Amino acid sequence: MIAVAPDTDAGAKTAARGEVITRPAVVAWLRAFAAVVARDRELLTELDAAIGDADHGINMDRGMQAVLVKLDELGEPADGSVGALLKAVGMTLVSSVGGAAGPLYGTLFLQMGSAAGQASELTLAEWASAVAAGVAGAQARGQAELQDKTMIDALLPAVAALRAGAASGLSLAAALGRSAEAARQGMKATVPLVARKGRASYLGQRSAGHQDPGATSSWLLLETAAISLSAGTVP
């Protein structure tokens, strides 16, 4: 599994003022996530073999490899907006990934991109709002609630932690670290649950006792964000 995020309390008392998430930082995050998905492809697929159809790692890897190609195509325009970048990622995932995860992650990035708008860099509060919009989009698309044993179980607590961090003036690094930790806890909490959405729900009670693959990839997304997006911002 990937390295532990930076100490979530490091820099917690540092004022968030002046810290921003730039377009190059978002590109670095997406590249890092692609690398982590490629590395953990077998793990994600094994988790899906237990309660699904053994393709989640394959699906996510195919999608993120397509995103890498798209990132190369887009380049790094000096005045590029974060929103346009995230929307392009969403479109790429929707068109390259079959199964449930493609439309769900695709919608997440599309809605996140719409919320991020034209800005070329986002404050922590703006980032939290964009992530919240993306997760709301994925939730609307899949109609999953908390404790349905899906990616939403990792994503919703992460959004709450990000928003709380922004509201209380945490540093970027601390807020991102706390959201990754909230996602990790949400992912772990899927283990005893009986699935109520997606393929795993066909198993009924037999889905209990297994960690949800989509919650695991969502944790990886937020763990990677904690490492990539705050790089260089903590004194």
Residues of this chain that interact with ligand ADP (CB under 6 A) are 48, 52-53, 55-56, 59, 99-101, 104, 142-144, 150-152, 197-199, 212-215
Residue 102 in the binding site for Mg ion (CB under 5 A): no
Q: Provide, rounded to whole angstroms, the least separation between the CB of residue 143 and Mg ion.
A: 18
Residue 153 binds Mg ion, judged by CB under 5 A: no
Largest CA distance in the chain: 52
In the complex, what is the shortest distance from the CB of residue 191 to ligand ADP, in angstroms, rounded to a whole number?
Answer: 13
Give pairs for 62-65: CB < 8 Å, separation 24+: 62/96, 62/97, 63/92, 63/93, 63/96, 63/97, 63/101, 63/102, 63/105, 64/30, 64/33, 64/34, 64/37, 64/38, 65/34, 65/38
DSSP string, 47-92: HHHHHS-S-HHHHHHHHHHHHHHHHHHH---TT--HHHHHHHHHHH
Q: Which is nearer to Mg ion, 43 or 115 (CB)?
A: 43
Q: Which is nearer to ligand ADP, 224 or 230 (CB)?
A: 224
70 binds, among Mg ion, ligand ADP, none (CB under 5 to 8 A by kind): none
> Closer CB to ligand ADP, residue 21 or residue 195?
195
CB of 62 to Mg ion, least distance (A): 12
Which residues bind to Mg ion, rule: CB under 5 A?
48, 52-53, 55-56
